[in-house]
Structure 1
Amino acid sequence: MRIETPKAEPGFLGPDHTARAVITGGFSTSDPFIMLMDDYLDKKDNTPVGGAHPHAGFETVSLLLEGEVGDAAHTMKAGDFQLMTAGSGIVHTETIDKAATMRLLQLWVNLPKQDRLAQPRVQDLPFEHAPTLHEGGVHIKLYSGSLAGLTSPVKNHTPMTIADVSIDPGTTTTLEIPAHFNTFLYVLDGSVLIGDDQTVLNKGQVGWLDLGTDDSASALGLTAGSLGVRFALYSGKPTGDKIVSHGPFIADTSEDISRFYSEYRRGKMKHISTVPESQRLSW
Structure 2
Amino acid sequence: MENQSIIRNIVNIKTPPAQPGFLGPDHTARAVVYGEFEHSDPFILLMDDFLDKKDDEPVGGPHPHAGFETVSLLLEGEIGDEEHTMKQGDFQMMTAGSGIVHTETIEGRSRMRLLQMWLNLPKADRWTAPRVQDLTFKNAPVTEKEGVKTVLYSGSFAGLRSPVKNYVPLIVADIRLQPGARLSESLLASYNAFLYVIAGGVRVGDEEKALEINQIGWLNKGAVGETSELIVVAGAEGARVVLYAGEPQHDPIVSHGPFISDHQEEIKELYSDFRHGKMRHVSTLTAGQRFNY
Q: What is the Cα deviation at residue 173 of structure 1?
A: 2.4
Aligned mates of 1:199, 1:206 — CA distance in 2: 12
Q: Determine if the alignment matches structure 1 residue 191 to structure 2 residue 201.
A: yes
Partner residue of 1:64 out of 74, 87, 95? 74
2:160 counterpart of 1:162: no
CA distance in 1 between counterparts of 2:253 and 2:127 reads 14
- TM-score w.r.t. the length of structure 2 is 0.95
Aligned to 2:239: 229
1:153 paired with 2:163, answer: yes
Q: Render the CA deviation track for 1:234-281: whole Å, top value 9, x for unaligned.
A: 000001000000000000000010110011111000001111101100
SS of alignment partner, residue 118 of structure 1: coil
The 5-angstrom pairing of residues 1-283 of structure 1 reads 1-283=11-293
**Over aligned residues, Cα RMSD in angstroms?**
0.7
* Count of residue pairs brought into register by the alignment: 283
1:2-27, Cα deviation, whole Å (9 max, x unpaired): 10000000000000000000013510
Deviation per CA, 1:125-153: give whole Å up to 9, x if none.
00000000011111000000000100000
Moved over 6 A (4+): none
How far off its partner does 1:216 sit?
Answer: 2.1
Q: Which residue type is aligned with residue 92 of structure 1? A: H
Gaps of 5+ in 2: 1-10
Measure the CA separation in 2 of the matches of 1:272 and 1:175: 37
Query: Displacement, 1:49?
Result: 0.8
- The code of the aligned residue for 2:214 comes to G
CA distance in 2, matches of 1:123, 1:139: 24
Q: What CA distance in whole angstroms lies between the structure 1 residues aligned with 2:175 and 2:120?
A: 24
Report the more deviating stretch, 17-26 or 35-44.
17-26
Amino acid in structure 2 at the alignment position of 1:277? A
